[in-house]
Amino acid sequence: MDTSVVYADLNIPRTSRPKNTSSPALPRGSCAGTCRHQLLVRLGGAALVLLILSVIGFTVSVRFLTQKSSAEQSSVDVQENRTKPTASGTWKESLDKCTSKESTLLLIRDREELTDIQNLENIKENLFWIGLSYTSEKVWKWTNNSIFNSDILQIIGVAEQGSCVAISLDKVFSEHCEADNKMICQRDSERVNQVC
């Protein structure tokens, strides 16, 4: 058993660093670990872009659905003093919905009540059907068959068969009765005083 140790002197000449610090060129067609690394980086980048686009799309759809659902709030129910989440409808459909709740479309009796209605929070961005329509007798009539008093309301639009009245923040409009608007239901003897 030989236990001798061999020592060798290595004389490696010290030269300056090579000017080109890039890795040596690989022969064409050969793929070292860097090819897999580049592929993974590209796949990761593509996944990140898809994730960002998905988040943006989700955000837009949530905002759209939120706006749509708040726009679908359509009636002001005096009995419960809160907005009901029901869809908009024609004047006749709105009248039927109110009737099913043992109420009627809003009847405006005086200027004070008109001002109170127009100060409600939910009236700002919507048109609401009220209980006024143009009859075959060529007059505006309320749903309780009383004749319209033009001293209280100034209706903007045409007075013709098939016209009904909708109210907004600052105006009262003649609309075709088949148009879709929100509604304000009211018990006959009550005034509307709050919309939540």
- Per-domain boundaries in the chain: 33-71, 74-186
Homologous superfamily of domain range 74-186: Mannose-Binding Protein A, subunit A (3.10.100.10)
First to last CA, the chain: 101
Compute CA distances 22 → 19, 25, 56, 62, 101, whole Å. Answer: 9, 8, 40, 49, 81
- Quick one: pLDDT at residue 194? 36
**Six-digit token pair at 125?**
């961005």
**pLDDT higher than threshold 50 for residue 85:** no
**pLDDT higher than threshold 70 for residue 98:** yes
pLDDT tens sequence across 126-139: 788 889 999 999 99
| Strand pairing report for 140-142 and 172-176 | unpaired
**Six-digit token pair at 121?**
């929070």
- Mean pLDDT score, 134-153: 87
Q: Is 180 exposed, middle or buried (0-12, 13-18, 19+ CB in 10 A)?
A: middle
- Quick one: pLDDT at residue 96? 92
Cβ proximity of 194 and 87 under 8 Å: no
pLDDT tens sequence across 16-65: 555 555 555 555 555 556 788 888 899 999 999 999 998 888 888 777 66
